């Protein structure tokens, strides 16, 4: 079925696309609401270790150890329509929402990630714990990563990293220390995976405290990854 030059799938007829913010039919981010998306300018980037301002999100030399993240790029502020989109993706399997979401990322941001991570990097979405994946049926970070890999032209690897510990949701935890403790030894690299000389773009939907990303980066680097640059949709 062709309508206005676009192919309309059966899925669109059963679940018509509506703007996640104002509810108007047509797309998940309507023409008016996509202007309300707050991009994070590069001069407001933060170091993923101390969370203080840092040029382009590169980890400060003083914060750097062998196993820390090399930097962090977050595309949008976690508020308004971006917050709603992230939450919608967590509870409903809508892969085309992922694609529309990724299309809001500027070419400039895509280029800066490539510059930092290198053109031979692999894209690794932060995995869910096996039981949570079974409950939910999909990993929202993976849905977004599929769309992002099309923009970055980097391959996705979902076989490298696994989540060995089921953690309590970060948002429910008040104290920073509790959240960090919650995230120790959560990830492991699967046996038989060789990460020597690997450059990794570690991807997640949201960065709240950075504890998840730091923990995953630690596991990747202990297994030999040369660099790990974190990317999140929002912060």
The phi and psi torsions of 54 (rounded to 5 degrees) equal -150, 140
Closer residue to Zn ion (CB): 37 or 225: 37
Q: Which of residues 54-93 bind Zn ion (CB under 5 A)?
A: 60, 63
Q: Binders of Zn ion: how many residues, by CB under 5 A? A: 10
Q: Mapping DSSP to helix (H, G, I), strand (E, B) and coil, where does residue 119 land?
A: coil
Closer residue to Zn ion (CB): 27 or 39: 27
Closer residue to Zn ion (CB): 65 or 191: 65
Closer residue to Zn ion (CB): 46 or 195: 46
Shortest Cβ distance from residue 48 to Zn ion (Å)?
8
Tokens of 1: 């079925």
Helical pair 140-152 and 80-91, crossing angle rounded to 10 deg: 120
Q: Name 123's Cβ contacts closer than 8 Å, sequence gap at least 6.
A: 145, 148, 149, 152, 154, 155, 156, 157, 200, 201, 203
Shortest Cβ distance from residue 197 to Zn ion (Å)?
26
Shortest Cβ distance from residue 76 to Zn ion (Å)?
16
In whole angstroms, give the CA distance from residue 70 to residue 61: 10
In whole angstroms, give the CA distance from residue 73 to residue 129: 24
Closer residue to Zn ion (CB): 32 or 185: 32
Shortest Cβ distance from residue 43 to Zn ion (Å)?
16
Q: Which of residues 20-59 bind Zn ion (CB under 5 A)?
A: 21-22, 30, 33, 47, 49-50
Closer residue to Zn ion (CB): 21 or 139: 21
Shortest Cβ distance from residue 18 to Zn ion (Å)?
8
Shortest Cβ distance from residue 187 to Zn ion (Å)?
22
Q: Which of 17, 19, 204, 213 touches Zn ion (CB under 5 A)?
A: 19
Closer residue to Zn ion (CB): 28 or 187: 28
Q: Name 223's Cβ contacts closer than 8 Å, sequence gap at least 6.
A: 189, 193, 195
> Pairing between strand 187-189 and 161-163?
antiparallel
H or E segment at 203? Answer: strand 199-206
Helices within the chain (DSSP H only): 10-14, 80-91, 95-103, 107-117, 130-136, 140-152, 176-182, 211-222
Residue 177 near residue 183 (C-beta atoms within 8 A): no
Shortest Cβ distance from residue 73 to Zn ion (Å)?
15
Contacting residues toward Zn ion, per CB under 5 A: 19, 21-22, 30, 33, 47, 49-50, 60, 63
């Amino acid at each position: 079925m062709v309508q206005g030059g676009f192919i309309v799938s059966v899925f669109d007829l059963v679940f018509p696309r509506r703007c996640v913010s104002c509810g108007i039919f047509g797309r998940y981010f309507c023409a008016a609401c996509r202007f309300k998306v707050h991009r994070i300018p590069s001069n407001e980037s933060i170091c993923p270790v101390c969370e203080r301002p840092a040029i382009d999100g590169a980890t400060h030399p003083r914060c750097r150890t062998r196993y820390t993240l090399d930097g962090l790029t977050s595309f949008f502020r976690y508020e308004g329509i971006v917050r709603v989109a992230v939450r919608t993706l967590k509870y409903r399997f809508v892969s085309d929402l992922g694609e529309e979401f990724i299309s809001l990322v500027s070419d400039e941001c895509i280029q800066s990630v490539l510059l930092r991570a290198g053109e031979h990097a692999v894209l690794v979405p932060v995995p869910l714990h096996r039981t949570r994946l079974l409950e939910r049926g999909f990993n929202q970070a993976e849905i977004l990563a599929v769309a992002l890999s099309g923009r970055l032209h980097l391959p996705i690897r979902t076989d490298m990293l696994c989540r060995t510990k089921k953690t309590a949701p970060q948002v429910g935890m008040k104290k920073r220390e509790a959240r960090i403790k919650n995230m120790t030894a959560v990830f492991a690299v699967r046996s038989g995976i060789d990460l020597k000389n690997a450059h990794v773009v570690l991807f997640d939907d949201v960065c709240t405290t950075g504890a998840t990303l730091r923990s995953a980066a630690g596991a990747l680097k202990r297994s030999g990854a040369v660099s790990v640059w974190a990317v999140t949709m929002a912060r």
